[in-house]
């Protein structure tokens, strides 16, 4: 028994030492910036996690003069993420992005423990400690654009909105969508339902099916679960979809049903984070994402544009995007004023 205990300790101790780290970042001194990403889903989920991964890889590609190392950890629940975050610190990573508000407590705890390492999490508009960045997509802008399309293209005057939860950027997107629909079609009925989950694809497809059955002919949804709703929309011969991630345009059903999609351009955020860290700012700021600072991108489905986006509609969209760009403080879409019970 004693031998077994000793053997177990010999095997376990090195891992414990590795997992705990030294308490000091062993940052590379050759100018390399090391970025680590922690996500709860996968880098190819065609939604929330993929958009950040794509943003980081795009930012690296757009900064060829900088030496950047990048690593990621997928399927990390908040309770498990502390271990991998400490490993990244021990390996000398300069910036650890925990992509999701669910990581807030972990990030704040780690930030206090490792003051020389920069952390970032979002979405959140809070101003964190001196070594914590937050980022907040002002996604009422993308919702508003998609709402204009839905409100214009609906023939039944009923549109559906499949939400994950009513908080964070999802709440902003959904309410922006409502405002967009109402701006062009005040009489449209907007069916809003939440699944209570970011990743329950089956439930989102059930919600979409319910809304289709109740007459909705243009639907939208956000987060990775939206793929389930898009899949359900593809079953309808007439209904169409407006997306909240450009990756949805590349799916088979997206090619057939997704009129247009907007997406978060995290590359802009990542580039800003890298520049700030190089200049010695490790945190204490919230980086907004909007059309004005390139935080959003928007594109049409080339196969569907001619049929579903009239020149007038395109002009309206362009005009709205320009007005968003001219109003970086985001006063045009008062998303907080939307009350679903009045729809």
Partner 1 sequence: MLDIITNMLSMCIPFSVALLLASLGEMFNQRAGVFNLGCEGVMAMGAFVGMLIPFLAGQGGAVAPVYNVLGFVSAALLGVLFGLFFGVITVTFRAPQGIAGIGLQMFGVGTAGTLFRHFVGGTQSIPGISDIDIPLLSKIPFIGDVFFSHNIVAYLAYILVPVAWYILFKTYWGLKVRAVGTNPRAADSMGINVTRTRYEALALGGALAGLAGAYLSIAQAKMFSDTLISGRGFIAVALVYFGHWHPVQIMGGALLFTFAQTFQTVVQSMGISFPYELAVMLPYVLVIVVLSFTSRNQTTAPTALGKPFNREIRT
Binding site for partner 1 (CB under 8 A): 41-42, 44-46, 50, 75, 160, 166, 191-197, 199-203, 205-207, 209-211, 213-215, 224, 227-228, 231, 234-235, 251-253, 340-343
Nearer to partner 1, 331 or 342 (CB): 342
Using CA atoms, how far residue 11 sits from 5, 85, 137, in Å, is 10, 22, 45
Q: Which two tokens stand for residue 196?
A: 């209570």
Nearer to partner 1, 67 or 75 (CB): 75
Nearer to partner 1, 69 or 200 (CB): 200
Cβ 340 to partner 1, closest distance in Å? 6
Question: Hunting for tokens 């204009």 — which residue is that?
Answer: 148
CB 153 within 8 A of CB 304: no
Cβ 303 to partner 1, closest distance in Å? 16
Cβ 214 to partner 1, closest distance in Å? 6
Helices (H), 93-135: 104-113
Residue 38 CB burial class (10 angstroms; 0-12, 13-18, ≥19): buried
Residue 60 CB burial class (10 angstroms; 0-12, 13-18, ≥19): buried
Nearest to 188 by CA among 143, 237, 150: 150
Cβ 53 to partner 1, closest distance in Å? 11
The DSSP string of 212-226 is HHTT--EEEE-STTH
Cα separation, 271 vs 200, whole angstroms:
32
Nearer to partner 1, 189 or 325 (CB): 189
Nearer to partner 1, 72 or 119 (CB): 72
CB 162 within 8 A of CB 195: yes
Cβ 184 to partner 1, closest distance in Å? 20
The DSSP string of 147-173 is HHHHHHH-SSSEEEEEES-SSHHHHHH
Cβ 50 to partner 1, closest distance in Å? 7
Cβ 64 to partner 1, closest distance in Å? 27
Nearer to partner 1, 162 or 242 (CB): 162
Cα separation, 163 vs 172, whole angstroms:
11
Nearer to partner 1, 124 or 225 (CB): 225
């Amino acid at each position: 028994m004693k031998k077994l205990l000793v053997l177990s300790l010999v095997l376990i101790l090195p891992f414990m030492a590795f997992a705990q780290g030294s308490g000091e970042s062993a940052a590379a001194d050759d100018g390399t910036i090391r970025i680590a990403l922690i996500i709860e889903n996968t880098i190819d989920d065609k939604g929330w996690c993929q958009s950040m991964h794509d943003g980081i890889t795009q930012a690296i590609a757009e900064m060829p003069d900088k030496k950047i190392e990048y690593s990621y950890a997928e399927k990390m629940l908040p309770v498990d993420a502390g271990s991998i975050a400490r490993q990244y610190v021990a390996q000398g990573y300069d910036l650890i992005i925990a992509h999701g508000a669910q990581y807030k407590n972990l990030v704040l705890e780690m930030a206090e423990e490792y003051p020389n390492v920069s952390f970032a999490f979002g979405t959140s508009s809070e101003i964190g400690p001196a070594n914590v960045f937050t980022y907040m997509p002002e996604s009422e802008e993308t919702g508003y654009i998609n709402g204009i399309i839905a409100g214009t293209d609906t023939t039944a005057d009923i549109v559906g909105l499949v939400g994950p939860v009513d908080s964070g950027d999802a709440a902003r997107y959904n309410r922006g969508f409502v405002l967009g629909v109402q701006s062009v079609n005040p009489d449209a009925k907007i069916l809003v339902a939440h699944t209570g989950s970011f990743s329950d694809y089956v439930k989102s497809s059930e919600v979409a099916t319910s809304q289709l059955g109740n007459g909705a002919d243009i639907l939208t949804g956000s987060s990775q679960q939206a793929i389930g709703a898009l899949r359900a929309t593809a079953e309808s011969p007439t209904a169409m979809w407006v997306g909240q991630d450009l990756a949805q345009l590349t799916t088979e059903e997206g090619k057939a049903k997704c009129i247009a999609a907007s997406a978060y351009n995290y590359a802009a955020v990542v580039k800003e984070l890298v520049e700030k860290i190089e200049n010695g700012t490790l945190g204490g700021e919230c980086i907004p994402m909007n059309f004005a600072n390139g935080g959003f991108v928007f594109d049409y489905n080339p196969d569907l544009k001619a049929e579903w986006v009239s020149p007038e509609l395109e002009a309206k969209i362009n005009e709205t995007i320009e007005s968003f760009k001219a109003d970086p403080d985001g006063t045009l879409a008062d998303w907080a004023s939307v009350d679903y019970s009045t729809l």
